[in-house]
Structure 1
Amino acid sequence: MNKRFKAVIVEQTGDSVQSSVKEIDRETLPKSDVLIKVEYTGVNYKDGLAASADGKIVNQYPFIPGIDLAGTVVESGDERFKAGDAVIATSYEIGVSHFGGFSEYASIPADWIVPLPEGLTLKESMIIGTAGFTAALSISRLEKNGLRKEDGEVLVTGATGGVGSLAVTMLSGLGYKVAASTGKQSEHDYLKMLGAERIISREAVYNGKVKALDKEKWAAAVDPVGGEPLAALLGQIKYMGSVAVSGLTAGGSVPTTVFPFILRSVNLLGIDSVYCPMEERKMVWERLASDLKPEKFAEITEEIVMDDVPDALKKILTGTVRGRIIVKI
């Protein structure tokens, strides 16, 4: 490996936090089992928080963010991996308390690494990234809880975001009827291209009022939004249907009642991609290389280089990003 290499460094000065591309050396990286030459990474909402003074993600600076990475093993102190292996590393403490993927090289514990499944390229794995893994995990859990194609429409909220976009195209690829919820009128054609049969407004799900029970509309839902919209959504799920919730862009408080649960047997499924057990993690990645592999990779992807990352980290927090931003290292 090169003695010096580039990384995005987040630094704190007083109450402000700034990110920039700098040269560092091997000794800057944490000492972990596997050294990876990073080829691709992705920009996620949590990465934006890591580069924000108000993000409350990072405890110590300077820091290298990036919760996703894919690349090739350079050195390994663990027998499970050898030089030349193509691998994926997402979640756990990567990009939060452990230096992450916005770097030409990353040093990662072996227990956090997944071999690249046959059927995926390194680039494709990062178009999927944590967002796509979360979407796939949501769909997997919904199916384990009884979701079938003949049950009716599946709603995806926040449908133009990373999790939402990938959930729409994955569900459509599996043959589900998908309703996509968005507040962006300009993105209707994009969502139809991904496979949504119907586009509905945010207000059609949540108009500012939460009813304990509403008309039964959806067989299930993938929800990266949370907050009061989730509370309203629970009252619209069909009998014995489920909602897989993975985010809180609308807030962390869900002012619901017990009625959807005790009168309609609705299931609220919590989706955590960070500490998902490795056995399930590998199974989901195998599905992402087969039946859950998105068909619309190019349409949902904006590719940038490392010098563009500081601006992308600001952009991701504005809610204006469509689909996925990936970084070619």
Structure 2
Amino acid sequence: MAEAQFKAETSTRGEWVRQANRFTERITADGSSGWPAQPDRYRLVVSLACPWAHRSVIVRRLLGLEDALSMGIVDPIRDRRGWRFTLDPQGKDPVTKISFLSQAYLRADLEFRGRCTVPAILDVAEGRVVTNDYPQLTLDLSTEWAKYHRNGAPQLYPEHLRTEIDEINAVVYADVNNGVYRCGFATSQEAYEEAFERLFARLDWLSEHLADRRYLVGDTITEADVRLFTTLVRFDAVYHGHFKCNRQKLAEMPILWAYARDLFQTPGFGDTVDFDHIKRHYYATHDQINPTKIVPVGPDLSGWRTPHGREALGGKPFGTGTPPG
């Protein structure tokens, strides 16, 4: 992120203020939005380093949408020009033929001057962004794209649990998902300590919540678990040190550590994690926090495959469904 953009998202108190999502059009089953859910029409663009994008990678895989919605992966190192397709031949996304995600943003709005964020769903024919509304995007994959789900796909956003899922998601976003960023990007001691206290108070609350239940809501994985997991899986690798979230490591919080390992070992979760992309992105992109761009060798990742014992709490990850192939 460029220095000017970093300052633009910091309040006068030194608090991190996240940029609002600019493109919030929805892709709908009936096409009433003007963007009907159709196979091969759209392309999901993600960074494997980004927790917000990682949500969409997990949900797409759990629901079996790979054949309906193609996916492009950007370089984990974002320079001042934004996200780049340098992992692809000739540095171009093979489907949309663009070199920078910013090209798709500008095709949607020539006046756009904010950060070009992931995840983003692009219209392939027009090469423009349809949505970068990451909270709604994954919910729509569960609901509006249901026609294209695989047989045995889990119900990640079941109607009878939506109110509870929404309530959990709201506090987890405010204090944990975005809370780690509010710690890491704070530019005043006061703002940092306030975010730090809220983060660990919420993690303590989540530990109590998960002490006698396997999943956040109900007895199967839901959207709520996906959203918490993408922050927890990055906690020790980047947030603990790089973002100064250092009261404890995740591995020192027994309940959350076991919960995270349980999800990591569930098909669709751990097999979508790329620790190399995660570490290189955070440590080599945030110049204002880590000007040397040295990427740590640790932590030891072998613990993610150790037994977690959470099966004893009951529940089945996919309910009556099946894991992704």
Higher relative contact order (CA 8 A, sep 6+): 2
Structure that is richer in strand per residue: 1
User: What is the TM-score with the length of structure 1 in the denominator?
Assistant: 0.29
User: What is the TM-score with the length of structure 2 in the denominator?
Assistant: 0.30
Structure that is richer in helix per residue: 2
